């Protein structure tokens, strides 16, 4: 059973400057809702009971967004607007299941995950990267079904254009399980086109085993001087840990780049 999810939120969001110079990218509106809410709803719908936000001192605005009760109560007592009441109730519901941990220096996704070591209770947990929205079909739900069946790690996968492999973690595939799932042989963070073993990219949904923490403790910096989760996953696979790649059925929206962010509002408004 997967009960806990973690969401790294300490990144600087430089790809979305200037929107992120004084604001958190995860709070930017996408078709009238903050981006983070889509991720929260995906988790809740998939049965996740606790969600751990990895923030930084610079991103405390995220905490504020969920802890603004006095303000809401004042407005509601004056206005009694049913829409605001509904939204506030939603925020209260989210707040009940959110915990915060801090990663004050953005040293990479691997470093962010390590900050949750003492909070993760079960053998397996979920990680979601907030830049990656998957609409129409709940990817987390489908990945949990695969995890329950095979009792191993599962990561989301999508075919990308060959000339963009340098932007992603890229899988080398072992054998197919079925049309949507395959065993992972290896995974390489942002390879050069020539070195890419496929065009199957890692998308930001991971079901990981607690064993990853032992690898992360010793993980050296990788591409771009960051500590990458991909590099620790790679070590676990080399030691024989089973990892499944899941080609999700939903629609992918990349909210981490300016073009992708603009496009995501447009796409969601059509759903």
Which residues of this protein are in contact with ligand G1P, per CB under 6 A? 109, 129, 131-132, 168-169, 189, 201-204, 228, 230, 256
Minimum CB separation from ligand G1P for residue 232, in Å?
A: 11
Residue in the shown chain whose Cβ atom is closest to ligand G1P: 169
Cβ proximity to ligand G1P: between 169 and 245 the closer is: 169
Minimum CB separation from ligand G1P for residue 11, in Å?
A: 7
CA–centroid distance for 217 within its chain: 21
Minimum CB separation from ligand G1P for residue 95, in Å?
A: 27
Q: What are phi and psi of 91, to 5 degrees?
A: -60, -40
Cβ proximity to ligand G1P: between 94 and 157 the closer is: 157
In this structure, the strands spanning 50-55 and 181-189 are: unpaired
Q: Say if CB 20 and CB 12 are below 8 A apart.
A: yes
Minimum CB separation from ligand G1P for residue 126, in Å?
A: 15
Cβ proximity to ligand G1P: between 94 and 201 the closer is: 201
Question: Quick one: which H or E segment has residue 98?
Answer: strand 98-102
In this structure, the strands spanning 153-159 and 200-209 are: antiparallel
Minimum CB separation from ligand G1P for residue 191, in Å?
A: 10
Cβ proximity to ligand G1P: between 201 and 237 the closer is: 201
As a whole number of angstroms, the distance between CA 117 and CA 125 comes to 11
Q: Say if CB 102 and CB 57 are below 8 A apart.
A: yes
Structure tokens, 188: 């390489």
As a whole number of angstroms, the distance between CA 73 and CA 201 comes to 45
Cβ proximity to ligand G1P: between 138 and 222 the closer is: 222
Minimum CB separation from ligand G1P for residue 108, in Å?
A: 8
As a whole number of angstroms, the distance between CA 132 and CA 109 comes to 14
Cβ proximity to ligand G1P: between 35 and 204 the closer is: 204
Inter-CA distances, 192 with 75, 189, 196, 236, 260, Å: 53, 10, 6, 23, 22
Q: How far apart are the first and last CA of the chain?
A: 31
């Amino acid at each position: 059973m997967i009960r806990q999810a973690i969401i790294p939120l300490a990144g600087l969001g430089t790809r979305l400057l200037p929107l992120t110079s004084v604001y958190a990218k995860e709070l930017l509106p996408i078709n009238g809702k903050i981006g983070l809410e889509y991720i929260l709803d995906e988790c809740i719908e998939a049965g996740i009971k606790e969600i751990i936000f990895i923030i930084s001192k610079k991103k405390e605005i995220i905490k504020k967004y969920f802890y603004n009760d006095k303000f809401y109560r004042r407005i509601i007592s004056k206005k009694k607007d049913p829409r605001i009441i509904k939204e506030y109730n939603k925020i209260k519901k989210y707040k009940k299941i959110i915990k915060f941990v801090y990663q004050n220096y953005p040293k990479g996704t691997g470093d962010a995950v390590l900050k949750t070591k003492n909070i993760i209770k079960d053998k397996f947990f979920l990680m979601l990267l907030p830049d990656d929205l998957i609409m129409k079909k709940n990817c987390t739900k489908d990945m949990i079904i695969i995890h329950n069946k095979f009792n191993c790690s599962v990561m989301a996968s999508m075919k990308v254009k060959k000339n963009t492999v340098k932007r992603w973690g890229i899988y080398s595939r072992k054998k197919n399980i079925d049309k949507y799932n395959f065993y992972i042989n290896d995974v390489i963070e942002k390879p050069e086109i020539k070195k890419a073993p496929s065009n199957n990219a890692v998308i930001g949904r991971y079901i990981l085993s607690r064993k990853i923490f032992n690898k992360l403790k010793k993980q050296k910096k990788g591409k771009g001087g960051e500590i990458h989760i991909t590099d620790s996953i790679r070590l676990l696979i080399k030691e024989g840990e089973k990892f499944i790649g899941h080609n999700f059925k939903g629609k992918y929206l990349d909210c981490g780049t300016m073009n992708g962010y603009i496009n995501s509002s447009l796409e969601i408004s059509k759903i």
